[in-house]
């Protein structure tokens, strides 16, 4: 069975500072990995995804993530955050052999302060 | 292009009643997913439908059920409602299994 652990439930940062949101996963087979963002009072939208190929994935709004197979991690990073990045971020994994079933982490609340 | 739509936006029920939640996927998407987002518990996978068939379900009791219609829209039914069923229920659709999931705004179910 697959599982996802988001290591930080809350991450407060100041505007224009860099940020890293950590995500570890476990699975016995190859996986697809996703990061979603949920802005206040809105639905989830995809930030980026890793399916195969290059381990560095670039997404929307200046976010990127690196797939590290040996450490089973998929950390999300942004070099300089804005107030508007304040939201909840979810890491998700789905197995190649059962791609329709995604497992989500518990979420990380990113709060960007002025 | 219209996104995933869900109805109703809010639903208030009492214990023991049944709730029906509806989802219309993006045009052309055949896979529909249901998730429960309870306060403090993150997103829990409920059900996955593809081409009219239930393909997988999460660790939820049988009183959570659903179906997918020929036009790929979907319905989630929750029978014998319990207080802990209060949550935001999110529907998502994708072009194919494993592809990017596009989420609807959710239905907020409150059980009193």
Is the CB of residue B100 less than 8 Å away from at least one CB of chain A? Answer: yes
Note the pLDDT of residue B98: 73
Q: What are the CA-CA distances from residue A77 to residues A50, A81, B69, B81 (Å)?
A: 14, 10, 40, 41
User: Which residues of chain B carry a pLDDT beneath 70?
Assistant: 1
Distance from CA of A106 to the nearest CA of B (A): 4
Quote the number of domains for chain A: 1
Q: Shortest CB distance from A105 goes to which of B42, B50, B90?
A: B42
List the domain range (segments joined by +) for residue B26: 5-111
List the domain range (segments joined by +) for residue A45: 3-113
- Residue A114, classified by CB atoms within 10 Å of its CB into exposed (0-12), middle (13-18) or buried (19+), is exposed
pLDDT level of residue A86 (50, 70, 90 thresholds): very high
Q: What are the CA-CA distances from residue B60 to residues A21, B39, B51, B57 (Å)?
A: 29, 17, 22, 8
- Give the B window 32-91 contacts with A, CB below 8 Å: 33, 35, 41-45, 48, 50, 55-56, 58, 90
> Each residue of A6-53: pLDDT tens digit?
999 999 999 999 999 999 999 888 888 999 999 987 788 999 999 888
Note the pLDDT of residue B1: 65
Residues in chain B: 112
| CATH number for A23 | 2.60.40.10
Whole-angstrom Cα distance, residue B39 to residue B107?
14
Q: Is residue A96 pLDDT above 80, yes or no?
A: no
Provide, as residue numbers in chain B, all residues whose Cβ is less than 8 Å from the Cβ of A94.
98
Note the pLDDT of residue A85: 96
Q: Is residue A113 pLDDT above 90, yes or no?
A: yes
The residue among A43, A88, A95, A107 with the most chain B CBs within 10 A of its CB, best to mutate, is A43
Backbone angles phi, psi at A55, to 5 degrees: -80, -15
| CATH number for B55 | 2.60.40.10
Q: What share of chain B is helix, strand, coil (3-state, %, to 5)?
A: 5, 55, 45
Do A98 and B31 count as a contact with CB atoms less than 8 A apart? no
Quote the number of domains for chain B: 1
Q: Is residue A4 pLDDT above 90, yes or no?
A: yes
Half-sphere exposure in the Cβ direction for A84 (13 Å, CA): 3
Provide, as residue numbers in chain B, all residues whose Cβ is less than 8 Å from the Cβ of A105.
42
């Amino acid at each position: 069975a697959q599982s996802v652990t988001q290591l930080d439930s809350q991450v407060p940062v100041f505007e224009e500072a860099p940020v890293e949101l950590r995500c570890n996963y476990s699975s016995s087979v190859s996986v697809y990995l996703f990061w979603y963002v949920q802005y206040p009072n809105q639905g989830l939208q995809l930030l980026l995804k890793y399916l195969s190929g290059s381990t560095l994935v670039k997404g929307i709004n200046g976010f990127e993530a690196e797939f590290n197979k040996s450490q089973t991690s998929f950390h999300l990073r942004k070099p300089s955050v804005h107030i508007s990045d304040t939201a909840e971020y979810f890491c998700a994994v789905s197995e190649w052999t059962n791609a329709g079933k995604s497992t989500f982490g518990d979420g990380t609340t990113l709060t960007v302060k002025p | 292009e219209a996104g995933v739509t869900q109805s109703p936006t809010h639903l208030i029920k009492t214990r023991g009643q049944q709730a029906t939640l509806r989802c219309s996927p993006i045009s052309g998407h055949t896979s529909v997913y249901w998730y429960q987002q309870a306060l403090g518990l993150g997103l829990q996978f409920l059900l996955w439908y593809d081409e009219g068939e239930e393909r997988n379900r999460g660790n939820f009791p049988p009183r959570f059920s659903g179906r997918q219609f020929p036009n790929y829209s979907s319905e989630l039914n929750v029978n014998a409602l319990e207080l802990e069923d209060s949550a935001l229920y999110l529907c998502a659709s994708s072009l194919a299994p494993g592809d990017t999931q596009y989420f609807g705004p959710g239905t907020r179910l409150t059980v009193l």
